Structure 1
Amino acid sequence: MVARLCMGIACLLLAPALFANTGVAFVHGTGSQTDARNDYWTAAMVDSVASGLDDTARHVVVNCDFEQYMWDEAAAGCLAGQLYDFIHAHDIDDLVVITHSNGGNVMRWILSNPTWDGRYPDIIEATRWVNALAPSSLGTPLANAVMEGNVFESSLGWLLGYQNDAVRMQQTHWMAHYNQNWLLGTDGRPSLPRGFWSVVGSNVRVAVWSGNSYCGGYHYNVGLAVTQAWLDSCADGFLECDSQSGAGHVWFEDTWMMDNGYVLSHNQSRRPCFGLDNILRDDL
């Protein structure tokens, strides 16, 4: 938190001299998206955050096939193409990337492997930092369970899909291999070239009489409450806190900054719940 605050103050001091063109990109998680603005983030979330820009047109909502391995052309290649086109079309030299869940892994692949694709260096150069909402940096035991074909497959189909390559990749032992050999920013590895700031969801609250249980969709939160029982006590229903905080730096844990100290389930961390959108907007 202190390091992030200091960096933020530095940006404020330097901004008038730099005359930066700030833009924001929304990068979805696991799944093949064609309308992530409405189907994944909701227009309310995107529009609220983008309203913090001097020019609200300087935002892009990425739509890619994140059911593939992170390095696949349909995943990182698609993301790179959309980010590259966006920064050049709008002369963006100060890009804030907002990712959710597995989107953090795909973005971290780009940051970690600048020579893999000729578009990567321009993207890295333009990026201020990544705000990673509930990133699956160390994977999740639930991906292990889905690949083993047990009950989690049906419980998490709405969130993960089924036995696709992205789910396979997010198994904990697979992510350990990638983090050790291909990705930067985890313990014992070199730092990422740009800040990777995680927002950590710590629990799931579901009660029919509690209004905060309905934000983001009550039925989704009920499903996450079921899977929560199979994770560590600190988890958002899909990812344990250790995984969410496994790469880069922790920006904040939900209860530190959400309205009324509310927690964020894995679904709520991609929606305008409890002031999250306001925090992301102010960060621009």
Structure 2
Amino acid sequence: MLRTAFALLLAAAATTVHAATATTGVAFVHGTGSQTNAYNDYWQPAMVNSVRQGLVNQANYVVINCDFNQYMWDSRAAGCLAGQLTSFINSRGITDLVVITHSNGGNVMRWIMSNPTYDSRYPAIISRIRWVNALAPSSAGTPLANAVIAGNVFENAVGWLLGYQSDAVRQQQTSWMAYYNQNNLYGTSGRPALPKGFWDVIGSDVETAVWDSDSYCGGYTLNVGLEITQAWLNSCSDGFIECSSAAAAGRVWFYDTARMAGGEPLSHNQSRRACFGLDTILRNDL
């Protein structure tokens, strides 16, 4: 209801001229890792191509490829993201931008929206954003990052998931994110609101029953790994992010079981894939 009310208020505030001439685009912003082909390797074509069907012009989309192994403010992270978003906005004449992020990508977007004077490109990007749909954002970090940076045996178990001891993993330690949220980022409790909406989609569990076809969506092996790592997290988690972290910034749009087909949960891997109707919800949101 809150989401619907926000959309109605936004529509009421827009002028008739803007409504008639707005050019909508969508940007897919990946999570931790250095991506060169996020379309195929991170999101996969089924997800991207389903979502962009919601656009009047389906060519108005961009899949970001940046080095998010770096700290969020790094030129290879937020700087790269700002560059690719600016090029997309300018080349396609985008005036209404919906950003879909996943995991640590939400932190990089929040850096841009929280620090408009840090980079001359940020204000123009912020002005065009309608809202950010944050899929399983690590807004308060994850205990898995704590374990990896501690360098214990757990590092070997989850290195495939986190990318080992990168700066992005250091950044996602819970104590580090608490500092950033208090001093550098907007949108969390007690802090100024973000200039545009930041809407959380929260994954609450991991299911890997070998006889259940739903457990294979997004890759059965990856889901098994997330079920293992879930043992180090609260019961409400997607195998990488605890629900409290995913809900820490902006506003909750929905929890997985409330909207997914069959009431299915979304593992951290499934929340970036066309699983259980997530792609259709994001498509209709455009």
Q: Return the match for 1:260 from 242, 259, 262.
A: 262
Structure 1 position 15, deviation (Å):
8.2
**Structure 2 partner of 1:80:** 82
Say whether residues 1:44 and 2:46 are aligned partners: yes
Q: Distance in 1 between matches of 2:215 and 2:126?
A: 38
Alpha-carbon separation, structure 2, partners of 1:278 and 1:164: 34
Q: Which amino acid aligns with 2:249?
A: A
Distance 1:16 1:121 in 2: 24
Question: Offset at 1:16?
Answer: 6.1
Q: How far apart are 1:242 and its partner, in Å?
A: 0.3
Pick the aligned partner of 1:131 from 122, 130, 133.
Answer: 133
- The CA deviation string for residues 202-261 of structure 1, in whole angstroms up to 9 with x for no partner, is 000011001110000000000000011111110000010000000000000001100010
Cα deviation, residue 8, structure 1: 2.2
How far 1:154 moved relative to its partner? Answer: 2.4
SS at match of 1:224: helix
The corresponding residue for 2:221 is: 219
Post-superposition Cα deviations, 1:77-120, rounded to whole Å, max 9, x if no partner, equal: 00000001111111111000000000000000000000000000
Query: Equivalent residue of 2:284, what SS?
Result: helix
Indicate yes or no: 2:243 matched with 1:202: no
- Secondary structure of the residue that 1:38 maps to in structure 2? helix
**Which residue number corresponds to residue 150 of structure 1?**
152
Q: Is the 8 A contact 1:138 1:176 kept in 2?
A: yes
Whichever residue aligns with residue 273 of structure 1, its letter is C
The amino acid that maps onto 1:62 is: I
Of residues 91, 94, 99, the one that matches 2:93 is 91
TM-score (norm 2): 0.97
Q: How does 1:165-176 map to 2 (within 5 A)?
A: 165-176=167-178
CA distance in 1, matches of 2:189, 2:75: 28
What residue number does 1:5 align with? Answer: 4
Amino acid at match of 1:159: L
- Secondary structure at the residue paired with 2:254? strand
Structure 1 residue 149 displacement after superposition:
1.5
Identify which of 161, 164, 186 aligns with 1:162: 164
Tell me the distance in 1 between the aligned counterparts of 2:219 and 2:205: 16
Equivalent in 112, 115, 119 of residue 113 of structure 1: 115
The CA deviation string for residues 130-175 of structure 1, in whole angstroms up to 9 with x for no partner, is 0000000000000000001223322222321010000000000000
Secondary structure of 1:116's counterpart equals: coil
Q: Is the partner of 2:232 in helix, strand or coil?
A: coil
On the 8 A contact 2:72/2:78 being kept in 1, the answer is yes
- The amino acid of 1:213's aligned partner reads S
Corresponding residue SS for 2:201: strand
> How big is each residue's C-alpha offset from its partner over 1:26-69, in whole Å with a ceiling of 9 and x where there is no partner?
00000000000000000110000011101111000000000000
1:79 is aligned with what amino acid? L
The DSSP-based 3-state class of the residue aligned with 1:156 is helix
Is this contact kept in 1: 2:148–2:159, CA < 8 A?
A: no
Deviations 1:155-201 (CA, angstroms, capped at 9, x unpaired) = 22232101000000000000000000000000000000000000000
Give the aligned partner of residue 244 of structure 2.
Answer: 242
The code of the aligned residue for 2:225 comes to G
Q: Which residue in the other structure is 2:272 paired with?
A: 270
Q: 1:264–1:180: structure 2 CA closer, same or farther, 3 Å change rule?
A: same
Does the CA contact (< 8 Å) of 1:152 and 1:227 recur in 2?
Answer: no
Question: How well do the aligned residues superpose, as a CA RMSD in angstroms?
Answer: 1.2
> Which residue in 2 is equivalent to 1:180?
182
TM-score under structure 1 length normalisation: 0.97
Equivalent pairs, count? 283
Letter in 2 for 1:3: L
